[in-house]
């Protein structure tokens, strides 16, 4: 299916890229983009497509039923571990060298191989 690069899609991607270290609900995105000409229904539709395309990561916000979304550059997102805050839902990318150290240590001590798509759960500095 062809992806149309509408001004709403571009504005949404621009916003997410500018705030790539943060995770937001769709409602928060629409609120923060007020004046950006994007409705909540359009944001949900676009966000679904951006997740499918690998540009955005979707995760559960804490213990709620809400989802948060965070921009990821899919080219830079492969080959390393991720950490997710169980309170705010923010996803952190571990450096490739740190990922390799963790993977090697686990493999040597337990003979268990973890893949680079593993999500480590915990609390970030803001939420702890």
3-state DSSP assignment of residue 56: strand
Q: 0.75 cut: is pTM over it? A: no
Instruction: Tell me what pLDDT residue 58 has.
Output: 86
Q: Could you tell me if 75 and 114 are in contact, meaning their C-beta atoms sit under 8 angstroms apart?
A: no
Q: pLDDT tens digits, residue range 49-100?
A: 998 888 888 888 777 788 889 888 655 566 788 888 888 877 788 888 998 9
Q: pLDDT tens digits, residue range 18-44?
A: 998 888 999 999 999 987 678 999 999
Spell out the alpha helix ranges (H) of the chain. 7-18, 26-32, 40-52, 96-110
Indicate the length of the chain as a whole number: 128
Instruction: Tell me what pLDDT residue 62 has.
Output: 72
Domains of the chain with bracketed CATH: 7-122 (1.10.10.10)
Enclosing H/E stretch for 119 = strand 119-122
Q: Could you tell me if 21 and 68 are in contact, meaning their C-beta atoms sit under 8 angstroms apart?
A: no
């Amino acid at each position: 299916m062809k992806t149309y690069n509408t001004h709403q899609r571009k504005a949404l991607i621009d916003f997410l890229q500018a705030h790539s270290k943060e995770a937001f609900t769709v409602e928060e995105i629409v609120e923060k983009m007020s004046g950006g000409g994007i409705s909540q229904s359009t944001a949900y539709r676009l966000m679904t497509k951006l997740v499918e395309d690998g540009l955005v990561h979707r995760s559960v916000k804490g213990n709620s039923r809400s989802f948060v979304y965070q921009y990821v550059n899919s080219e830079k997102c492969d080959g390393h571990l991720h950490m997710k805050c169980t309170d705010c839902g923010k996803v952190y990318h571990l450096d490739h060298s740190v990922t390799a150290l963790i993977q090697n240590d686990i493999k040597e001590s337990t003979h268990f191989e973890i893949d680079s798509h593993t999500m480590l759960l915990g609390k970030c500095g803001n939420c702890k």
